[in-house]
């Protein structure tokens, strides 16, 4: 019995120490891995990547605005007309024609048409070109050597009455704050009919050294597609009015 017990123990020990390792080795060679306990991977919450601010360099291309050069008003050379007989001077553009008259205006025996200045002309023709005429603006200087009064208003009122009684004249403006040669003057704007044509007129009156001086700007009213001559030469006329200067006595025989 003792021997049997010893043999049994020896067999169990052999199985434990020899057979069991051999069985494990056989499982490995057959590719059978013992089950492994794996822990679930730790999953971090989804994170939104923080945008990286990248400095972007912009090149601003600006196109310089196209600036047209300001047209320069060509100033015509200015000449000066001086009347030794009537004691005044006046400037006028060199491109204007000068007509010195120094003649009495009938039926008056004391009112003189001294000088007239004519602008460059335009040729006005009928639609069928059958009839044409020269049209131009005029600046006229008159002198009344015996106005009969030393008060400008007393001289001006009869002048207005005379003008409105002739040629269908219509007054469009009166101005009592005008100046001629530094003296008080009255301005009168009106329209009239001259040689069957409508005209615009601007006259200025003043009394200096017991004489009346009258300057008149006259231009034809445009027809069809003509340029407005009155507006065209208005600034030139005003410059001529401003340049008017009485600097002597009237020496004509009266």
Least confident window among 84-88, 173-177, 225-229, 232-236: 225-229
d(CA 86, CA 193): 30
pLDDT tens, position by position, 106-151: 899 999 999 999 999 988 877 777 778 888 999 999 999 999 999 9
Residues sharing a CB contact under 8 Å with residue 21, sequence separation 6 or more, in sequence order = none
Average pLDDT, the chain: 80
pLDDT tens, position by position, 49-74: 444 444 434 343 334 444 444 444 44
Identify whether 125 is part of a domain: yes
With H, G, I as helix, E, B as strand and everything else as coil, classify residue 43. Answer: coil
Q: HSE, CB side, 13 Å, CA atoms: give it for residue 50.
A: 2
Residues sharing a CB contact under 8 Å with residue 61, sequence separation 6 or more, in sequence order = none
Identify whether 59 is part of a domain: no
pLDDT at 164: 94
pTM of the complete model: 0.69
CATH number at residue 186: 3.40.1000.10
d(CA 201, CA 33): 124
Count of the separate structural domains present in the chain:
1
Identify whether 44 is part of a domain: no
> What would the two tokens of residue 174 be?
């009166």
- Domain coverage including residue 229: 78-246
What confidence tier does 99 reach under pLDDT thresholds 50, 70, 90? Answer: very high
Identify whether 128 is part of a domain: yes
Identify whether 48 is part of a domain: no
């Amino acid at each position: 019995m003792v021997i049997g017990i010893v043999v049994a123990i020896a067999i169990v020990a052999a199985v434990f120490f020899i057979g069991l390792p051999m069985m494990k080795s056989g499982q490995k060679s057959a590719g059978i891995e013992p089950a492994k306990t794996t822990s679930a991977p730790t999953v971090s919450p989804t994170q939104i990547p923080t945008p990286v601010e990248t400095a972007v360099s912009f090149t601003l291309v600006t196109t310089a605005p196209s600036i047209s050069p300001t047209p320069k008003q060509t100033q015509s050379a200015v000449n000066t007309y001086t009347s030794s007989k009537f004691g005044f001077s006046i400037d006028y553009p060199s491109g204007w024609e000068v007509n010195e008259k120094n003649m009495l205006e009938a039926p008056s025996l004391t009112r003189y048409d001294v000088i007239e200045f004519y602008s460059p002309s335009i040729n006005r023709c009928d639609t069928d070109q059958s009839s044409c005429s020269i049209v131009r603006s005029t600046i006229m200087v008159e002198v009344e050597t015996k106005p009969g009064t030393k008060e400008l208003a007393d001289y001006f009122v009869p002048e207005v009455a005379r003008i409105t009684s002739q040629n269908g004249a219509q007054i469009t403006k009166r101005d009592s704050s005008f100046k001629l040669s530094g003296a008080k003057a009255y301005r009168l704007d009106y329209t009239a009919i001259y040689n069957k044509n409508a005209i615009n007129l601007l006259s200025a009156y003043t009394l200096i050294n017991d004489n009346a001086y009258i300057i008149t700007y006259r231009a034809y009213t445009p027809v069809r597609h003509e340029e407005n001559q009155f507006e065209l030469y208005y600034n030139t006329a005003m410059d001529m009015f401003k340049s008017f200067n009485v600097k002597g006595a009237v020496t004509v025989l009266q």
